[in-house]
Amino acid sequence: MTAHETDKYVYDFAEGNRDLKDLLGGKGANLAEMTNLGLPVPPGFTITTEACKAYLATGREPDGLAGQIEAHLEALEREMGRRLGDPDDPLLVSVRSGARFSMPGMMETVLNVGLNDHSVVGLARQASGSAGPAASGGSADPAASGGNDRFAWDSYRRLIQMFGKTVCEVPGEEFEHALDEAKRAKGSTDDLDLDADDLRGLVEAYKKIFAEHTGREFPQEPREQLDLAIRAVFESWNAERAILYRRQERIPADLGTAVNVVTMVFGNLGPDSGTGVAFTRDPGSGAQGIYGDYLANAQGEDVVAGIRNTVPLQELEQLDPKSYHQLLDIMARLEGHYQDLCDIEFTIERGKLWMLQTRVGKRTAAAAFVIAGQLVDEGLIDLDEALHRVNGAQLAQLMFPRFQLDHEIPPVARGIGASPGAASGTVVFTSARAVELAAEGRSVILVRRETNPDDLNGMIAAQGILTSRGGKTSHAAVVARGMGKTCVSGADEIEVNVPAKRFTVGGHTVGEGDVISIDGTTGKVYLGEVPVMPSEVVQYFEGSLDPAHIDNALVRAVHRIMTHADDRRRLAVRTNADTGADAARARRFGAEGIGLCRTEHMFLGDRRELVERLILAATDADRTDALAALLPLQRQDFVEIFREMDGLPVTVRLIDPPLHEFLPPLEQLAVNVAVAQERGEDVAKEEALLAAVRRMHEENPMLGLRGVRLGLVIPGLFAMQVRAITEAAVAVTRDGGAARPEIMVPLVGAVQELETVRTEAEKIIAEVVGDSGVEVLIGTMIEVPRAALTAGQIAEAAQFFSFGTNDLTQMGWGFSRDDVEGAFFWRYLELGIFGISPFESIDRDGVGRLIRIAAEEGRAARPGLKLGVCGEHGGDPDSVHFFHEVGLDYVSCSPFRVPVARLEAGRAAIETTGSDSR
């Protein structure tokens, strides 16, 4: 290979900044940013993600990397006035992973690199200097020298332990055992009781463990330690747990991790040293104030490991007021700089504060809204930015009822929050028992190791589902989300014993009949019944909380951001509602009309008899009679809905399901007939029904006689509905209201179908409307792929299109939704065939393409053609962004999803303005 200029693989902290996260990882980019702000960051450098990717691709360090590390290390040694692992006065470093997206606990860190049998002595001597090891030079302070042998040997044993475990895969328990042994010999349970001699002995024991497991001595050469640790961090990117975590969080697999090499500072040098973590606001509620934990005389990993109890950060004010106030200043600066909640890691070494990490902190859904609102108040961000920082998934979470926990009750187990909500109920272990108890009106929680398609009925009957195995894409999780049911999956501390009808967890045994509570948002499981309280956010949307007069930061923030989303959005938001009551509620939630009013339910209940008469009609006259009897009932339904939606458009879909769905099931009828015949009763009517059901039986009802096909086959059916809708609109309008009906024909695949229906409908409308001034639009659903592909023709006959994305997805993929979701979607998700069910979030590439084609060709044929979407995708955040991009006029979704769609439509609008290139 010829010599060529190699890439730059190593950046000094002073060379980077926070925008270089792709290259330097989050930790490295933010260490650089803090360095350049002049904050006290221990000097160091970052090896790029590019170097990691090159290493992972070829199995060896890329050309030039070793030399660049050498150069940066030398510069660091010059700056610190010490050499790595120098026996007299060693420089020590930490080697820390840091990827583009934070993957907590997934990857490796090694502290105290540079210690060996010689430099441990130098470290002890150096630590006697009053300024401590991180400052160059420093005079001896006799008073402080007492514990320094101890400190040095403690640091050395930590290095062997971390290095052994993370770099050489020595089982961590081996070291833990040896440590416990040393403490037992001392008659103590606290690390701090081990003195220098004990720790020196422990180092010997650790070295033996290391040699036994690796077949070599613990490396004494500091530079070799460094290189091996860097390599281990590279490799940790592909560790199994990291791969699983990325899949779970949908983090791309090819980003690689950066490696940060950071001068060590020591929080374990005595009582005037320590380490801590802090948030600039409460990440739980968003409340302003200082939130954090501090641990005196400790290194950072002790805080995480929970070996000793931390104290609230506020106590640092007593212990070290100077560092405390400096820390508060720095936190305020970081917030101002990042314009967001930050979390930080810091260490105090003998009264000197060092910043070891910062990033924009994770937060709960409630805190996200509250903080965004506060930052607007503080003038740090504008409302667009606030809107950008929250999302529909968070809002949806806030609309679920929550457990009322006055004081934190300890959960008995914690799994994955697989489907949000809060549920309490009696434990059952089988689907059959769930169905039985639910039928008695009891609230039940179905507990299983994992669920399978046989559990479907039990899952429907249960209030919540708890499994001890499986993640966010397990059968239980996928099906529960589809049903909107609370689910905690993968609570692996729970031992489920179905035959014995009990489970055990942490020493408790819970049997059938006992009550538990599960939180599908946090994944927590509680024994007993925890009271559930309604969502304040829902109360606000319902209009029972006035944001101007209540002392609730969350509701105020939601109100403010929602108002802004409404100002910004271009998409209108309608609702799917079949009754006046649903329409009224959706209107309070902000719906601007009805996008889908199904007429099916108007054929149920006590109206079944009329439907039977219709189906069994032997003559035209019989059928006309049945329809005439249905007409006033239908009209009254529409009157109620038009009143509630006064002034707003209401899209009514003509009847869609196969008519035999309104008749009793075949088996039941057959039994009834047989029994009645046995008794010698008159069964003429039942026999006729049975014959009709047999005649109308279909192998694939979803693809059979339904939708527009019914209207073309059964004379007078659609005409009756059109008349009922129009008469209702005229009646409401004559009463001083404003009805805006839009009649929608389902399942159209060809323009000829729609034209036939329209010709008949227009005659009726013209006759009924008279001089009332009512205007009735006629349009179609686009839910059959052929309709999408011939949209140019169909638009000639349609005044609007409404995309029925559920059917379009079913027919686009050839999936029967009721069959596939429970049967095998978990496998498809596991294999990554799709990242999310196409029924949950629109499949942009396939089904989305059909929508694009139909929108473009429809509008080309009829400029200004009104385009909307009904179906559950209308309330899904990512799908809403897609519908915005395609240029639809509105989305329609269930009442509860209306606020989510409003918010996301606003976010979609600001995101496209931000990068508008059209």
**Which helix H or strand E contains 482, and what residues bound it?**
helix 475-483
Q: Does 536 bind ligand ADP (CB under 6 A)?
A: no
Tell me whether residue 334 or residue 720 sits nearer to ligand ADP (CB atom). 334
Kindly state the smallest distance separating residue 299's Cβ from ligand ADP, in Å: 6
Q: Does 257 bind ligand ADP (CB under 6 A)?
A: no
Tell me whether residue 103 or residue 203 sits nearer to ligand ADP (CB atom). 103
Q: Does 357 bind Mg ion (CB under 5 A)?
A: yes
Tell me whether residue 262 or residue 525 sits nearer to ligand ADP (CB atom). 262
User: Using only C-alpha atoms, what is the Rg of the chain?
Assistant: 34
Q: In 502-516, which positions are buried (b, 16+ CB within 10 angstroms) versus exposed (e)?
A: bbebeeeebebeebb
**Cα–Cα distance, 785 to 329 (Å, whole number):** 61
Task: Please give the residues from 301 up to 330 whose contact with ligand ADP meets the rule CB under 6 A.
Answer: 301
Assigned token pair, 736: 């001083």
Assigned token pair, 337: 């700089």
Which residues pair with residue 515 across a beta bridge? 426
Q: Does 892 bind ligand ADP (CB under 6 A)?
A: no
| From 353-361, 435-443, 526-534, 619-627, span contacting Mg ion (CB under 5 A) | 353-361
Length of the chain equals 918
Tell me whether residue 33 or residue 345 sits nearer to ligand ADP (CB atom). 345
**Look-up of token digits 């489907």:** 419
Kindly state the smallest distance separating residue 44's Cβ from ligand ADP, in Å: 7
Q: Does 875 bind ligand ADP (CB under 6 A)?
A: no
Q: Does 347 bind Mg ion (CB under 5 A)?
A: no
Q: Does 358 bind Mg ion (CB under 5 A)?
A: no
Kindly state the smallest distance separating residue 198's Cβ from ligand ADP, in Å: 23
Contacts of 565 by beta carbon, 8 Å cutoff, 6+ apart: 387, 902, 903, 905, 906, 907
**Cα–Cα distance, 793 to 803 (Å, whole number):** 16
Tell me whether residue 28 or residue 219 sits nearer to ligand ADP (CB atom). 28
Query: What amino acid is encoded at 683 in this protein?
Result: V
| From 180-188, 223-231, 342-350, 459-467, span contacting Mg ion (CB under 5 A) | 342-350
**Closest by CA position to 116, among listed 91, 96, 140:** 91
Query: Furthest-apart CA pair in the chain: how many Å?
Result: 113
Q: Does 226 bind ligand ADP (CB under 6 A)?
A: no
What does the CA dihedral 583, 584, 585, 590 come to, rounded to 10 degrees? 90
Q: Does 232 bind ligand ADP (CB under 6 A)?
A: no
| From 235-243, 259-267, 490-498, 786-794, span contacting ligand ADP (CB under 6 A) | 259-267
Burial of residue 313 (CB within 10 Å: 0-12, 13-18, 19+) is buried
Q: Decide which of ligand ADP, Mg ion, none touches 480; Cβ closer than 5 to 8 Å per partner kind.
A: none
**Closest by CA position to 328, among listed 310, 316, 312:** 316
How many alpha carbons lie under 13 Å from residue 574 in its C-beta half-sphere?
A: 25
What is the 3-state secondary structure of 815-831? CCHHHHHHHCHHHHHHH
CA distances from 751 to 738, 759, 860 (A): 31, 12, 16
Tell me whether residue 93 or residue 518 sits nearer to ligand ADP (CB atom). 93
CA distances from 464 to 82, 331, 460, 819, 839 (A): 61, 42, 9, 22, 21
Helix, strand, coil tally for the chain in percent (to 5): 50, 15, 35
How do beta strands 495-497 and 502-505 pair?
A: antiparallel
Q: Does 42 bind ligand ADP (CB under 6 A)?
A: yes
Kindly state the smallest distance separating residue 548's Cβ from Mg ion, in Å: 42
**Cα–Cα distance, 570 to 480 (Å, whole number):** 33
Q: Does 109 bind Mg ion (CB under 5 A)?
A: yes
| From 301-309, 356-364, 392-400, 838-846, span contacting Mg ion (CB under 5 A) | 356-364
**Which helix H or strand E contains 803, and what residues bound it?**
strand 800-804
Is residue 884 flagged as an active site residue?
no
Q: Does 530 bind ligand ADP (CB under 6 A)?
A: no
Query: What amino acid is encoded at 123 in this protein?
Result: L
Kindly state the smallest distance separating residue 301's Cβ from ligand ADP, in Å: 5
Assigned token pair, 562: 């929602």
Q: Decide which of ligand ADP, Mg ion, none touches 301; Cβ closer than 5 to 8 Å per partner kind.
A: ligand ADP
| From 104-112, 160-168, 385-393, 405-413, span contacting ligand ADP (CB under 6 A) | 104-112
Kindly state the smallest distance separating residue 138's Cβ from ligand ADP, in Å: 18
Site string for ligand ADP, 43-72 (x = CB under 6 A): ------------------------------
Q: Does 300 bind ligand ADP (CB under 6 A)?
A: yes
Assigned token pair, 40: 């006290």
Q: Which of 356, 367, 562, 571 binds ligand ADP (CB under 6 A)?
A: 356
CA distances from 870 to 37, 366, 780 (A): 51, 29, 12
Q: Decide which of Mg ion, ligand ADP, none touches 300; Cβ closer than 5 to 8 Å per partner kind.
A: ligand ADP
Distance of CA 594 to the CA centre of its chain: 28
Tell me whether residue 357 or residue 374 sits nearer to Mg ion (CB atom). 357
How do beta strands 464-467 and 444-448 pair?
A: parallel
Backbone torsions φ then ψ of 121, nearest 5 degrees = -70, -45
Kindly state the smallest distance separating residue 459's Cβ from Mg ion, in Å: 38
**Cα–Cα distance, 571 to 884 (Å, whole number):** 6
Q: Decide which of ligand ADP, Mg ion, none touches 596; Cβ closer than 5 to 8 Å per partner kind.
A: none
Tell me whether residue 129 or residue 874 sits nearer to ligand ADP (CB atom). 129
The catalytic position among 52, 72, 475, 881 is: 475
**Closest by CA position to 114, among listed 229, 275, 268, 269:** 229
Query: What amino acid is encoded at 541 in this protein?
Result: F
Q: Does 91 bind ligand ADP (CB under 6 A)?
A: no
Kindly state the smallest distance separating residue 295's Cβ from ligand ADP, in Å: 10
Q: Decide which of Mg ion, ligand ADP, none touches 203; Cβ closer than 5 to 8 Å per partner kind.
A: none
> Cβ distance 66 to 50 under 8 Å?
no
Q: Which of 21, 82, 83, 96 binds ligand ADP (CB under 6 A)?
A: 96
Q: Decide which of ligand ADP, Mg ion, none touches 310; Cβ closer than 5 to 8 Å per partner kind.
A: none
If one counts every other C-beta atom within 10 angstroms of the C-beta of residue 4, the result is 8
| From 261-269, 679-687, 825-833, 890-898, span contacting ligand ADP (CB under 6 A) | 261-269
**Cα–Cα distance, 40 to 51 (Å, whole number):** 27
Q: Decide which of Mg ion, ligand ADP, none touches 30; Cβ closer than 5 to 8 Å per partner kind.
A: none
Is residue 697 flagged as an active site residue?
no
Q: Does 687 bind ligand ADP (CB under 6 A)?
A: no
Q: Decide which of Mg ion, ligand ADP, none touches 634; Cβ closer than 5 to 8 Å per partner kind.
A: none
**Cα–Cα distance, 393 to 897 (Å, whole number):** 10
Kindly state the smallest distance separating residue 300's Cβ from ligand ADP, in Å: 2
| From 298-306, 424-432, 540-548, 870-878, span contacting ligand ADP (CB under 6 A) | 298-306
The catalytic position among 52, 342, 597, 870 is: 870
Q: Is 764 strand, coil or helix? A: helix
Q: Does 347 bind ligand ADP (CB under 6 A)?
A: yes
| From 260-268, 603-611, 692-700, 815-823, span contacting ligand ADP (CB under 6 A) | 260-268
Kindly state the smallest distance separating residue 347's Cβ from ligand ADP, in Å: 5
Distance of CA 280 to the CA centre of its chain: 24
Q: Does 258 bind ligand ADP (CB under 6 A)?
A: no
Q: Decide which of ligand ADP, Mg ion, none touches 262; Cβ closer than 5 to 8 Å per partner kind.
A: ligand ADP
| Residue ranges binding Mg ion (CB under 5 A) | 109, 345, 357
Q: Give contact residues for ligand ADP (rule: CB under 6 A).
A: 42, 94, 96, 105, 109, 111, 262-265, 299-301, 345, 347, 356-357
Which residues are the active-site residues?
A: 475, 870
